[in-house]
Amino acid sequence: MEPYALDERLASDSQSLAHLELCDVRLARDSRWPWVILVPRRPDVSEIFDLSEEEQSLLAQEQVHVAKALKAMTGADKINIAAIGNVVRQLHVHVVARFEGDENWPRPIWGHGTPVPHTDETFNQMANKLRGLLQ
Amino acid sequence: MEPYALDERLASDSQSLAHLELCDVRLARDSRWPWVILVPRRPDVSEIFDLSEEEQSLLAQEQVHVAKALKAMTGADKINIAAIGNVVRQLHVHVVARFEGDENWPRPIWGHGTPVPHTDETFNQMANKLRGLLQ
């Protein structure tokens, strides 16, 4: 079995904020929505049921931890949580803060348009706030 | 607090297959994708973190149970799991079997196009198979 390695596209589209017990918690490099991606640090995992039951339970807890932090930080109208992976098959879970009237509201964010980069300043501000809330 | 009641749109867009410990498991009335919707039978719940920790754990287990059944039934290339709820705010989790080249692949299914009804025969066949796999 290969050791765990992060998919190249996930690596380029997001930046690591924190390592929780199971997941690498990453902030997407896209300013259109506050958007976090959790990647379980396990090799050869594509579906949630490829994880052990203990890991599935950790993933569920870590998703909720991130969702609460994103809600607290943004006051979002709705948190969207999804494991899709049709393009990047390495298991990853999106946790996204949505607001009425935001880009593509109320439709989903995935596959919509082109990423709009953050400035370094706004990215770092958001990253620092989230890191604080995740501790 | 109001008692649990199913949202009208969820009721019209899907049909109940089974009650698990927490969720009403429903089959979407849309033949474009094998598509199941889990609705936790609890009132006033919009986000996963509105559930108790015990209920969150049950939801995670029931999602995986349904995902495995859908994978076994369809041999899908990828299972998509998502709690979005931007339109219908009652908490519900989509579990969808996706195939390379299916309608809107690899983009998400939500908000895409118009539902294509099943015939009664194909709907009932799928419902019966899934019910068997969920037992």
How far apart (Å, rounded) are the C-alpha atoms in residues A76 and B119? 40
How far is B127 from B122, CA to CA, in rounded Å?
A: 8
Query: Is there a contact between B65 and B134 (Cβ–Cβ < 8 Å)?
Result: yes
C-alpha distances (whole Å) from B94 to each of B38, B39, B91 are 7, 9, 10
Q: What pLDDT is stored for residue B128 in this prediction? A: 98
DSSP E strands in B1-135: the ranges are: 14-19, 23-28, 35-40, 78-83, 93-98
A88 vs chain B: nearest CA distance in angstroms?
10
Out of A60, A78, A108, closest to residue B111 by CB: A108
Domains in chain B: ranges and CATH: 8-134 (3.30.428.10)
User: pLDDT-derived band of residue B2, with 50, 70 and 90 as boundaries?
Assistant: confident
Across the range B58-69, mean pLDDT stands at 98
Whether A90 contacts A45, CB under 8 Å = yes
Residues 64-83 on A with a CB inside 8 Å of B are 64, 67-68, 71, 78-83
What integer pLDDT is reported at residue B41 of this predicted model? 98
pLDDT tens digits for A55-104?
A: 999 999 999 999 999 999 999 999 999 999 999 999 999 999 999 999 99
Identify the pLDDT of residue B21.
Answer: 98
pLDDT (0 to 100) of residue A107: 97
- Return the pLDDT at B84: 98
User: What counts of helices (H) and strands (E) characterise chain A?
Assistant: 3, 5
pLDDT value of position A2: 80
Question: pLDDT of B33-60, one tens digit each?
Answer: 999 999 999 999 999 999 999 999 999 9
**pLDDT tens column, B87-126:** 999 999 999 999 999 999 999 999 999 999 999 999 999 9
pLDDT of residue B97: 98
What is the interface pTM, i.e. ipTM, of the complex?
Answer: 0.97
How many CB pairs below 8 Å do chains A and B form together? 93
